[in-house]
Amino acid sequence: MHMKPAVVFACIAVAGAVHSAPDGAWEGFAEVFKGDVAHILCAEPDGWKFAVETRALEEGRSELVVRLRRENEARPPKFLVEIAVPTGGAKYIWTPYGGDGLPAEWAGFFGSNIASSAPIYCFKDPHENNVFTVASSEAERNVSMQCGVRETVCRLGCTWRMFEADEAPIKEYETKFLFDRRTERYGKIAADASRWISQANGYTDAFTPESAFEPLYSSWYAFHHEVKDETLLAELEKASKLGMKTLIIDDGWETADNGTDFRFSGDWKVAPERFADIGDFVKKAHALGIKVMMWYSVAFVGHDSANRERFKGKFLDESDTNMGICVLDPRFPEVREFIVSTLADAVESRGLDGLKLDFIDCFRIYGADPAVAEDYAGRDFRHIPAAVDRLMTDIHDRLCAINPDVLIEFRQSYTGPAIRQYGNMLRVADCPGNSLANRRGIANLRTISGGTAVHSDMLMWNFGETAQSAALNIIDSIFGVVQYSVVLGNAPEEHLRMMANWIDFTLRHKDALLRGGFVAHNPELGYPLVEGFGKDENVSAVYGENTVAPVAAGKKTYVLNGTLSERIFLDNAGGARKTSAFDTFGEKTAEFELGGGLNAVAVPPAGYLEIAP
């Protein structure tokens, strides 16, 4: 690795720079690629000393390292890092939120922190190859990014704004920025950037047990707050026969109230109206071969809970009367111990297999930081992300001490490299009935989440739909672990037959669907083609009626029809291949030989093809 010395700061031209240094500002420049200069600007340094250096990594990649130091503790200064590079044929962008056309730089904004997304931004060409990718190693504090076309010079402009949010006093700080120009698929480059963030911070992903990849039943969309033990057991008998392996008991188990707010959260006692004996319920579920997880809103203490008075003065916010919540301040050690011991006791005493941990993204400052006026009294952390890191570390370690294979689910968007240290199931954000959002969310998460299990949001559909139409919800989510949340006791027989087929399919082809190679095409179009690659087989799905799926020679291939059309298009790279067509119930409908080259092939709506090697 070649490291350039700390740069000598001079007033040199920066192509397309949009910021100028005011009087008293600190300003620096560093060449990160030949002819491409990064501009670092701090308008109000207030005694902070900056040092900058560049590191050449492998061909086409480089790092910019920024260090800050001060003699005495103070709030870190706001500073920005910006660069503008030639467009290089870029036509689209990809971020952890998905793909789109090129925005103007002033419109291409998003942010990240420990509980939200990941600081990665990829520009790509029409062939799905990377043109220019940028990333920040800061995966815990707030990072604001603006990336897009800099209209004054028609270049790709990127600006990071650091410490825009309120920060606790520190004396020193170091961060890195990655620049990647390699011409490879955007998905590989984004995955490499995610690994780079983890390596830069010494992160290791939490262990993911096999059970994290198994089909799951959730009570949420099926029952919302009206969850009850006898009803759920009846559902689990059907779920077990269909092949589901895990249950999440979602919100509602802790209160007899059927409202939609959280005013009764925070005491975490099982409501006897919901579950007469939760330990006995778990045993009965286990007897059916079903693991059990329970939902907790980690950050909340409800306005009508007994613990509201207990933690008075230890909240980040308690003004939300609409949702009826107070948000705990994790910087207090007694707050963290309450959360950790509550969760650990639930797993141990109830015999649970895991937890769904919700609303971690609510640990943040709401207006003025209440700790400042109190000079951080009683808090052993000043910085909220650091306190969240300690909280999640303690939760993970305590639960794993009880059960090394414990399941811990997080929800988008707290799914970045930092938070993956503590959870092994990453779920798409709530999108009831929106199968396109599920497809996109799964593809976005799979691109940068390594070996962590990625789950769909819970599936729901109206039983008045045809089985084929309902099946599209499953096919859209099939490259993630599918979570089901329909009332099985009310489902038409043909819907149950359809579900049984697709659950069986996902279990038989788990390696190719969930754990092998993964390529999601054209994010800017909603991923009309997705491919999964196992050791012995490939599985592809087409989601547009005129999308062409490639069929590689030498491996058994399954192509799923994610449309209601009765044909799909295939590009067969080999010779004639024996092929069978199946409907959405798994019944064989035809056998034929697939010719070489481009083929228009008859296949039932929401069905699939099996193509011999």
Express each pLDDT in 485-544 by its tens digit.
999 999 999 999 999 999 999 999 999 999 999 999 999 999 999 999 999 999 999 999
| 8-state DSSP, 69 | E
- Rounded to whole angstroms, the Cα distance separating 344 from 110 reads 35
- Rounded to whole angstroms, the Cα distance separating 93 from 108 reads 10
Backbone angles phi, psi at 427, to 5 degrees: -105, 145
Torsion 401-405-411-412 (CA) sign? positive
pLDDT recorded at residue 18: 55
Q: Where are the domains of the chain?
A: 2-201, 517-611
- Rounded to whole angstroms, the Cα distance separating 489 from 290 reads 17
Contacts of residue 520, defined as CB under 8 A and 6 or more positions apart, other chains included, come to: 187, 443, 446, 447, 479, 527, 529, 530, 531
The sheet that has 109-112: what strands, in order across it? 26-33, 36-42, 79-85, 155-162, 143-150, 109-112
Indicate if the pLDDT at residue 76 is higher than 80.
yes
pLDDT recorded at residue 32: 95
Q: CA angle at residue 405 from 402 to 409, to 5 degrees? A: 100
Task: Identify each DSSP E strand in 543-606 by its residue range.
Answer: 548-551, 556-561, 567-572, 577-582, 588-594, 597-602
The residues pairing with 597 across neighbouring beta strands, listed in sequence order, are: 572
pLDDT greater at residue 568 or residue 553: 568
The residues pairing with 543 across neighbouring beta strands, listed in sequence order, are: none
| 8-state DSSP, 565 | -
Average pLDDT of the segment spanning 327-346: 98
pLDDT recorded at residue 421: 98
pLDDT greater at residue 58 or residue 315: 315
**Percentages of the chain per state (helix, strand, coil), in multiples of 5:** 25, 35, 40
Average pLDDT of the segment spanning 94-108: 94
Backbone angles phi, psi at 321, to 5 degrees: -80, -20
pLDDT recorded at residue 471: 98
Q: CA angle at residue 390 from 314 to 446, to 5 degrees? A: 115
**Torsion-angle region of residue 243: left (phi > 0), alpha (psi -120 to 50) or beta?**
left
Q: Could you tell me if 95 and 121 are in contact, meaning their C-beta atoms sit under 8 angstroms apart?
A: yes
Indicate if the pLDDT at residue 184 is higher than 60.
yes
Contacts of residue 111, defined as CB under 8 A and 6 or more positions apart, other chains included, come to: 117, 142, 143, 144, 145
Indicate if the pLDDT at residue 424 is higher than 50.
yes
Indicate if the pLDDT at residue 15 is higher than 70.
no
- Rounded to whole angstroms, the Cα distance separating 158 from 196 reads 19
Indicate if the pLDDT at residue 90 is higher than 60.
yes
pLDDT in tens, 367-408: 999 999 999 999 999 999 999 999 999 999 999 999 999 999
pLDDT in tens, 427-471: 999 999 999 999 999 999 999 999 999 999 999 999 999 999 999
- Rounded to whole angstroms, the Cα distance separating 391 from 413 reads 18
| Helix (H) or strand (E) segment spanning residue 172 | strand 170-180
- Rounded to whole angstroms, the Cα distance separating 177 from 81 reads 9
Report, in angstroms and rounded to the nearest whole number, the Rg of the chain calculated over CA atoms: 26
Indicate if the pLDDT at residue 13 is higher than 70.
no
**Percent of the chain whose pLDDT exceeds 90:** 93
Which ranges of 105-202 does DSSP label H, i.e. alpha helix?
186-201
Residue from 40, 36, 42 nearest 15 by CA = 36
- Rounded to whole angstroms, the Cα distance separating 137 from 65 reads 10
Average pLDDT of the segment spanning 533-558: 96
78 exposure class (CB count in 10 Å sphere: 0-12, 13-18, 19+): middle
Secondary structure class of 368 (helix, strand, coil): coil
The sheet that has 300-302: what strands, in order across it? 300-302, 325-328, 315-320
- Residue at 530: amino acid letter: V
pTM > 0.75: yes or no: yes
Which ranges of 351-421 does DSSP label H, i.e. alpha helix?
370-373, 384-402
Indicate if the pLDDT at residue 10 is higher than 90.
no
| Helix (H) or strand (E) segment spanning residue 161 | strand 155-162
pLDDT recorded at residue 164: 92
Q: Could you tell me if 290 and 249 are in contact, meaning their C-beta atoms sit under 8 angstroms apart?
A: no
| Cis peptide preceding 413, ω within 30 of 0 | yes
pLDDT recorded at residue 39: 97
pLDDT in tens, 136-169: 999 999 999 999 999 999 999 999 999 998 888 9
At residue 270 the predicted structure's pLDDT band, cuts being 50, 70 and 90, is: very high
Q: CA angle at residue 47 from 44 to 51, to 5 degrees? A: 90
Indicate if the pLDDT at residue 19 is higher than 90.
no
Contacts of residue 163, defined as CB under 8 A and 6 or more positions apart, other chains included, come to: 75, 76, 77, 78, 79, 141, 142
